[in-house]
Amino acid sequence: MTKAKDIMRRHVVTVDPRMTVREVAALFIDREISGAPVIDGKGDLVGVVSQTDLVRRERESRAEVEVPGYYRDGETSVYISGYQVKDPDFTRVGDVMTPAVISADEETPVEELAKMMLKRHIHRIIITRSGNLSGIVTSTDMVRTLLAKSTTGHKAAKA
């Protein structure tokens, strides 16, 4: 039976809750990932942040703005020599992350991970050993595992 430890990625990209949303978005693009565990300064797992969290945050911030920025002269806009300069967004990961971490032990069967993902509509599960971060399994890892099994099973059936 295949277990989480057999398919998990051991080198996990983590982020700090004090990072800005822009920094995390750039990290996601650079590392070609869609989410990451959030680890505080003490090394504790405090949440998970995903592209969905970033998009939701962007959508909510746009919904708050009813009047176009170029008509405002308030706290969020400044005019310099006829040009509008918006204050940079310093929203922190800790403000947009999902604080509930869905995790499983390294010994958890892959089938159980799949059930968890489907039931909770999530794309990643944090894998732990003795309560500490040891890896991550994403929906892409699950598809890769399924494909490898079907290819192996198909070859065995031909033999």
Q: For residue range 52-99, what is the model confidence (pLDDT) as tens digits?
A: 888 887 777 655 545 444 444 455 544 444 444 454 567 899 999 999
Q: For residue range 16-57, what is the model confidence (pLDDT) as tens digits?
A: 999 999 899 999 999 999 999 999 999 899 999 999 888 887
- How many domains are contained in the chain? 1
CATH of the domain at 49: 3.10.580.10
Query: Which runs of consecutive H residues, i.e. helices, occur in 3-126?
Result: 4-7, 21-31, 51-64, 93-96, 110-120
Q: For residue range 88-134, what is the model confidence (pLDDT) as tens digits?
A: 567 899 999 999 889 999 999 999 999 999 999 999 999 999 888 99
pLDDT at 85: 44
Q: What's 66's DSSP letter? A: -
Alpha-carbon gap, residue 134 to 10, rounded angstroms: 6
Global pTM?
0.73
Q: Which domain holds residue 140?
A: 4-158
